[in-house]
Chains A and B, each alone.
Chain A
């Protein structure tokens, strides 16, 4: 039986978030492009994946991740605590996604934070070769995630996939810890309800 904080995926996610070497942020802040490249190398994947949780369209996700890093570069001077870099990046990514969703709504297109049903348009269950999870299960999780409302999806993604603390998620979203806990619990129940039949089929439980 696993102990708390020994969730395998959690461990992997947490390791990926080991903060970068001291001084790198400061160098990037002074315009050192190589230092900023290190930051991108470390956080590109989680930020891109986080964005993709919302847009489910690789091309759009890359475009928004690109915008996130450009904005981060421009406003690195505003990062008050270098140790909060990843939280800060997620905050920027969240704003970028929201703005994009707003713009897309204006354009009467159907992809956005608050319109998960629309994501079916581009939802592609891309699974690499050698994937361990059953394809149907993966797609069921994707659909369940997309069916969550904005607040629930963001807390679920940050907590379960990116192992952020409530305090950090609160910083990113501006929501109280109480609301975050409630949203996370409800998100889990909703996902469980939608995914349960596939779990049995795949004999995962």
Chain B
């Protein structure tokens, strides 16, 4: 071994990154070469200084840091999905993903777009409170006298429902105007979106479930066990959120939890299906 090669490999030698054979060669050269031994001594000294620097400047986490972490982890539902923190896949890896997974991912994307649109619509409605007020059925509308030939209540009718009920009557055999769908209340829109997102998620889950079933035999038994226990936790979360939503349909948090749990389930299943 010559000096150039020895000095090139010196750092790796000091960090134990060389094979035993190569490390032996470096060691032998250092024993015979004063110049390389001096370079090694300089590296040793530098490393000592860096270690001291680290020891003296490293930050010690305060007790309040753990308190803050604990508060945050206690504030959210425990969903320990099998989802590694990893780098983004290279673009071409996407091409290797089975069609069924791309379909599932697309379904999830649709859900995201759909929910995003809802938020936009809701925000727009917030800016126009008059519309929301018009969309909300008034006591008069629901208590209006009923007749055999009354039309289904429409948004337009609600806006003019201060007129006498008879004004709204149409002859049964006359040319009836096509009924305009009733404008939904904000809450109804949210519930409708949740129901729609739930259907989309369920469709994506079915696709993924089939993909996983095909690959199941090839997966490690520990992975399967972990997957099943994570899945059970998530499904429990879904069931709880759904129960909460059923008990209190205007509970927006329960709705959000339900969708978040579905999203987590999809994430978990995609991870398993793509292994």
Contact = CB atoms under 8 A, between A and B. Distances in A.
A127 to B, nearest CB: 6
B48 A66 contact: no
Interface stretch (B49-57, B124-132, B155-163, B202-210): B49-57
Contacts of B51: 7-10, 12-13, 160-161
Looking at chain B's contact residues, the main secondary structure is helix
A62 B56 contact: no
Contacts of A192: 46
B59 A48 contact: yes
B23 A4 contact: yes
B118 to A, nearest CB: 26
Interface in B34-49: 37, 40-42, 44-49
A5 B16 contact: yes
A70 B85 contact: no
Nearest to B13: A4
Given A46-B58, A58-B59, A141-B50, A166 B17 contact: yes
Contact of A133 (B12, B23, B45, B53): B53
A33 B70 contact: yes
B84 A127 contact: no
A176 interface: no
Interface in A71-126: 71-80, 88, 91-92, 95, 125-126
Interface stretch (B71-79, B95-103, B135-143, B243-251): B71-79
3 closest pairs, A vs B, by CB?
A9-B51, A78-B84, A49-B58
Given A48-B60, A75-B81, 18 more contacts: A5-B15, A8-B48, A13-B54, A48-B61, A48-B65, A62-B62, A62-B65, A66-B65, A66-B69, A70-B73, A74-B79, A77-B81, A77-B82, A78-B82, A78-B86, A160-B47, A160-B51, A192-B46
Interface of B: 11-17, 23, 37, 40-42, 44-62, 65-66, 68-70, 72-74, 76, 78-87, 226, 230, 271
